[in-house]
Each structure stands twice: as C-alpha cells, then as structure tokens.
C-alpha cells in the first residue's frame, strides 16, 4: 500500500526521491517523509497529507546528501500525523516500512522494559529500536540487520540507513514487493518498477525472506538464514509508459477513456480476429481435463471474478468455487489436485490474494494469474500468467483494469468451452465477433452518454444513499457500481441481486431513494422489470441503464434512462460498466472529492 524509494547516488538525492514518490501516489497515502545522510549525520523532513506539503518543507529547509530513503505512509498503526510519518529515527538508525509487524506489541513491551523510549504509535518503530539495541550490544550493521529480521514477524518491506555508513542502504522483503534498480555508479530501491522507471530499467526483485546490502556499484542479497543468494536481473517495461493525465482532469477520467484502446490490446493477445477464434491460452492448465475451477480476488477484481464464474459455468459447464481472498483460505475448501485456480489482481501484489494462491499451491492445484503486472509476485508464483495488458492504472478506483480483466476472463471462458466441447465452432466465432466489436462500441458509448451522465450526476451528488440492482452478470456489475460510488464520492451505496429486493432492501425504498437498475435486454430482462415495478410502486426514483431493445420494451416511468447499444450477453458487462464508472466519476467531481486518491484507500493492498 505505502511507497518506498531509496537512492545510493553520487549527486544530491532528495528531489529525486520526492519525484519518485510522486510515481507511487496512485497507491494511496496520508503522510510522507524523506531522510538523507550528510556529513555523518541523519537528517529528515516529514509532512502530514499530500506530497506538496513535504515539498514545501523541503523548499524551506532543503536536505543535502547523496544517499537517502523516502516513504509515503498509509496509516495502519497510529494516526496519520507528522509524528507517525516515516522515516523513523532511533540512535543513528533510519527506517521506512511497508506492511504490518504482527508481533510489535510483544517487542515493544520487551524493548520498553529495557529502557527504550518510543516516540510514535507505529508498529514500524520497533524495527528501528531493535536495530539500535543490537548496535549498542556491539553488533555490526549486517549482523544487527539479520538479528532484527529473526525477531520480527509479519509482512514487511524495509529500507534502512545507518548513520555511520553513508554509502549503503539495507533492505528486506517478506510480503510487500521490493525491487532493486541497477544504475551506472548509482543503485536504487523501490516498491515497484514504476517508481524506478526514471532511473533505470534493469530490475532485481527480492523474494520473500530476502534482505540486501545495496552500495553505489553493487548489491549483495541474502536469504533469511544469511546465505548469499543470486536473484535474476530483468528488463522492466515500466519505463515505456508515460504516466500523465494528458488533457483529462483526473487519471480516472483518462483511464475510463482509454478503455477502447486497452481492451483491443488485451483481446489481441487472446483471439485471432481474422479467423474469429480464441488462441491457445495455456499449456499448463488444460481446461478440458480440470473438474472444477477455484477463483479468488479482492475488491473490484473479485467482482470481475464473479462475472467470470457466470461465463465459465454457462459456456464451459465448468463448476467454479469463488470467494474473496481474505476468506478463501480460511474456509478450508476441499480442493482436488486435479483442479485449477485463477487469481485476479491488478497489481499482482495483493496480500490476501497471494496468501490464497499459496494455499492452493500447497494443495497441488495448477495456478493461473490474471494480472496487469507480469513482473509481480502473483505472476512469478503462478504456473500460467494471463496478462490483462491495461497499462499502468493510477486512479485508485479501478476502471480499465476491471474491463480488461473481464475481457481476459471472457476469452478464457470461450477457450474452456471449446476445449470441453460445450461450445461449437459457430458459437465460438459468433462470440469472438462480438468481442471484436467491443472497442468500437465502447468509443461510441463514451462519446454519446457523457452529457446525460453529467446531468444525472448533479442529482446523485445530493443523495446520501443509492441502491444498485441487477440480475445475472449485471448483479456483480451492480455491486461494482455501488463500490465505485462509495470509493470516490463517499455516498453510501449497495448493490443487490434484483430478485433479493423483496427479501429486505425494499424496506429502504422511498421517494428519496435513487435505485439504479442495470438491465440489458437479456433472458433476465422481464424479471428485472418486475422488480422495477416493485420500486416504482413505493415511490422509488428509478435510473434505468438498458439497451435499445430494453428501452423500447418498457413503458415504466423512470427518473432517467441511459440507453446503450444492443450487444450480446458476453459483451454486456464490459459495455454496461462504462455508465457505471462515469456516474461515480462525475458525481465525485461535483462533490469535490479527491477522485484519484480517495481517503483511506490504497491502490495496492500489500498487507492482510
């Protein structure tokens, strides 16, 4: 969730550290700080809130030094104040940390009883205090680092400066990602390759249990037992991306409008548009032979997985077990080694999803990863990788990654249907033709509905509560719509299966309650209209999102009707996601919230 950057350089580093932190802002944060060593002393600047506040402090009090570490913090232990911001200093030791030290209370009590005085409310400070105590006992820097790692448990990515060594950063990883960048006469450290892209494209990823000693021209990596190990260098593609908003007000708006292009890239990886056939997807996971499929993910990726479940079961007759990753492994699901599992994650670093992956791997399942970052931990630990090719997504609320995940899952479901003999050649070709038309249809929708969405969003911005309803694949999309509205506008919203309306949520319906109904003219349409009538009878304000056939087939009065093109069922979730995203976006803009970095949220959740 948080961001870490480090530079062992030959020229001043503070400005470059802050610039690198800006590339990690998409992860979400609530305070920031930077530390350097100059003339044998540690110096730091910290600030609550956005990086602009830290930059202001650095203008007033510049930091010199050619070695430094920097951090954006997303609070877990202790309020998001300057006092709790990283880096933490203790007796010549500076530490920044992503993750959670699970045994911090025990360690804190032990250190306090030995005379340590804690300055913050964070779990991270125990790392600095432990290192300082080991140094006071006479340990060398490497010895102290190794001893500290033997004592702490939990999830961590760490960067450490020792005041008496102005040429070395030490780092460690157990859970949250950490990458070392190789430069010319300089070395770098970062939470991901995007942070390091301005400096280098040669990257070494640490694996869980690794710790490293990073100098200006070299790096030594050790495992948790202190053995010297070698990790491969690889060329990162992150430097190829120009990450800016262009002519758009927010990254989220830009990413919504990028969807026609990125969807075409994603589909091009999985289908042959000339023959209208799906391409072979994996030599490792044989969909023809697996008796069942497990899917797990978090947040929006989980909702993409729910839609994928409908597709795999309908088109491939493949039973799917799905749950949110934070619950998946604790349910102790009976798993067969003959089965396969798919894990969906934009970042490829989601802690709960990674833990569920490892649980399935322990039970002998073949693992597939649907990820946006092929260099990520989830990708590296999977047997087959299915990239979504969305490009960097900076807005915390996922948009283009969601629809690219759906495009990939649709392609996999069609491939599974062909492999299992449940889809014929003509059916496959018809479905691929529908997918091929999607980029054009997306462009048409984005160009046509914007004025109406903006008008409607002004009214939604006045509301305190909103319901979303849908059936079939529109049910997970209703949940996604509610999630988007909650995330960036802070309006309370809930998504329900339309058939569940009378089993409780109908009690909330009155003349002040907007009810957004997602209803393409599919096999569920008539049933959904019946639920709309139940809402109308109780004075609810209906906002209907349907297609041309649906608009013609209903005479029910609505507050607003958003009409989309007629599309096949397999394409509908991706097309219908566009007004859902735009409604949330424009409502948040009218309300004046921080659209790209909503409060309390992080882009990449790397702790459980």
Query: 499 near 471, Cβ under 8 Å?
Result: yes
Burial class (CB in 10 A: 0-12, 13-18, 19+), 147: middle
| Pairing state between β 88-90 and 202-205 | unpaired
pLDDT tens-digit series, residues 227-284: 999 999 988 765 544 456 666 788 899 899 888 888 887 888 898 888 889 988 877 8
Residue 28 pLDDT class (50, 70, 90 cuts): low
Annotated catalytic residue within 108, 309, 486, 603? 603
- Under the banding of pLDDT at 50, 70 and 90, the label for residue 532 is confident
Angle ∠(372,378,379) on CA atoms, nearest 5: 60
pLDDT at position 240 is: 44
Question: How confident is the model at residue 604, as a pLDDT?
Answer: 57
Q: Check if 404 is active-site.
A: no
pTM flag (> 0.75): no
Q: Enumerate domains of the chain plus CATH numbers.
A: 3-240 (3.60.20.10), 246-436 (3.40.50.10490), 446-594 (3.40.50.10490)
pLDDT tens figures, 171-210: 999 877 899 999 999 999 998 777 888 889 899 989 889 9
Predicted confidence at residue 367, as pLDDT, reads 95
Helix extents (H) in 23-165: 51-60, 104-113, 125-136, 141-151
Task: Say how far apart CA 276 and CA 429 lie, in whole Å.
Answer: 5
Listed in sequence order, the DSSP H helices in 114-220 are 125-136, 141-151, 193-196
pLDDT tens digits for 364-407?
Answer: 999 999 999 888 889 999 999 999 988 888 888 899 999 999 99
Question: Which segments within 346-430 are labelled E, that is strand?
Answer: 366-371, 384-387
pLDDT band (50, 70, 90) for residue 474: very high
Report helix angle 400-420 to 425-436, nearest 10.
Answer: 170
| Gap between the Cα atoms of 188 and 196, Å rounded | 7
Q: Is the torsion defined by CA of 409, 411, 417, 419 positive or negative? A: negative
What CA–CA distance (Å, rounded) separates 203 from 474? Answer: 41
Give the DSSP H or E segment for 202. strand 202-205
Looking at residue 319, what is its pLDDT? 96
Asked about 603 being catalytic, the answer comes back as: yes
Which one-letter DSSP state was computed for residue 280?
P
- Give the least confident one: 87-91, 97-101, 563-567: 97-101
Which DSSP helix (H) or strand (E) runs through 4?
strand 3-8
Which CA distances in Å does 547 have to 435, 554, 566?
17, 11, 5
Q: E-strand spans in 347-454?
A: 366-371, 384-387
Q: Is the dihedral of CA 596, 599, 605, 606 positive or negative?
A: positive
Please give the mean pLDDT across all residues of the chain: 90
Residue-wise pLDDT for 446-465, tens only, equals 989 988 999 999 989 888 98
Q: Tokens for 543?
A: 């906002």
| d(C-alpha 307, C-alpha 580), whole Å | 15
- Average of per-residue pLDDT across 117-146: 95
Q: Is the pLDDT of residue 70 over 50?
A: yes
Identify the CA nearest to 427 among candidates 414, 410, 413, 441: 414
pLDDT at 363 over 80: yes
**Span 273-314, pLDDT tens digits:** 888 899 888 778 999 999 999 999 999 999 999 999 999 999
pLDDT band at 603 (very low <50, low <70, confident <90, very high): low
Residue tagged active-site, from 2, 298, 360, 404: 2
Cα dihedral 279→282→285→289 (10° resolution)? 40
Asked if residue 328 has pLDDT above 90, the reply is: no
Torsion of CA 349, 354, 357, 359, to 10 degrees: 170
């Amino acid at each position: 969730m948080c961001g870490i950057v480090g530079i062992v350089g030959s020229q001043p580093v503070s400005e470059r550290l802050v610039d690198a932190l800006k590339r990690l802002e998409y992860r979400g944060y609530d305070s920031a700080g930077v530390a350097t060593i100059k003339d044998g002393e540690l110096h730091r600047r910290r600030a609550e809130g956005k990086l602009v506040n830290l930059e202001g402090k650095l203008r007033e009090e510049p930091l010199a030094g050619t070695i430094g570490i920097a951090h954006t913090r997303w609070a877990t232990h202790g309020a998001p104040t300057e006092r709790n911001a990283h880096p933490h200093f203790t007796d010549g030791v500076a530490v920044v940390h992503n993750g959670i030290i699970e045994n911090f209370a025990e360690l804190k009590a032990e250190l306090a009883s030995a005379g340590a005085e804690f300055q913050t409310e964070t779990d991270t400070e125990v790392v600095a205090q432990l290192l300082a105590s080991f140094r006071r006992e006479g340990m060398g820097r490497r010895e102290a680092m190794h001893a500290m790692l033997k004592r702490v448990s939990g999830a961590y990515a760490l960067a450490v400066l020792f005041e008496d060594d102005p040429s070395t950063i030490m780092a460690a990883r157990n859970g949250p990602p950490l990458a070392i960048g190789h430069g010319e006469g300089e070395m770098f450290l970062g939470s991901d390759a995007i942070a390091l892209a301005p400096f280098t494209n040669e990257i070494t990823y640490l694996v869980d249990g690794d710790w490293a000693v990073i100098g200006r021209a070299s790096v030594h990596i050790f495992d948790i037992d202190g053995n010297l190990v070698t990790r491969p260098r690889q060329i990162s593609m992150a430097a190829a991306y120009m990450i800016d908003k262009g002519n758009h007000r927010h990254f989220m708006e830009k990413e919504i409008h990028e969807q026609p292009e990125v969807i075409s890239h994603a589909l091009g990886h999985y289908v042959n548009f000339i023959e209208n056939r799906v391409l072979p997807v994996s030599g490792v996971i044989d969909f023809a032979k697996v008796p069942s499929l497990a899917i797990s993910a978090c947040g929006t990726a989980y909702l993409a997985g729910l839609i994928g479940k409908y597709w795999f079961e309908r088109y491939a007759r493949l039973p799917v077990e799905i749950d949110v990753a934070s619950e998946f492994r604790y349910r102790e699901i009976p798993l067969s080694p003959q089965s396969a599992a798919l894990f969906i994650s934009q970042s490829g670093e989601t802690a709960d999803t990674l833990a569920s992956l490892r649980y399935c791997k322990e039970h002998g399942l073949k693992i597939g990863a649907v990820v946006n970052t092929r260099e990520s931990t989830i990708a590296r630990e999977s047997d087959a990788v299915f990239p979504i090719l969305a490009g960097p997504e900076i807005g915390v609320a996922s948009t283009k990654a969601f629809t690219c995940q759906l495009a990939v899952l649709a392609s996999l479901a069609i491939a599974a249907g062909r492999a299992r003999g449940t889809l014929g050649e003509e059916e496959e070709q018809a479905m691929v033709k529908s997918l091929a038309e999607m980029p054009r249809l997306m462009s048409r929708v984005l160009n046509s509905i914007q004025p109406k969405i903006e008008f409607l969003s002004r009214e939604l911005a006045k509301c305190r509560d909103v319901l979303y309803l849908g059936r079939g694949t529109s049910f997970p999309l209703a949940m996604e719509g509610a999630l988007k509205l909650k995330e960036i506008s802070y309006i309370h919203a809930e998504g329900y299966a339309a058939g569940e309306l009378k089993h409780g949520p109908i009690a909330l319906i009155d003349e002040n309650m907007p009810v957004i109904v997602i209803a393409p003219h599919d096999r569920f349409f008539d049933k959904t209209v019946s639920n709309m009538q139940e809402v109308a009878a109780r004075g609810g304000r209906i906002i209907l999102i349907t297609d041309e056939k649906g608009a013609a087939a209903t005479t029910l009065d609505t507050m607003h009707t958003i009409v989309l093109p007629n599309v096949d069922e397999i394409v509908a979730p991706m097309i219908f996601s566009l007004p859902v995203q735009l409604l949330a976006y424009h409502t948040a803009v009218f309300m004046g919230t921080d659209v790209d970095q909503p409060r309390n949220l992080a882009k990449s959740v790397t702790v459980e």
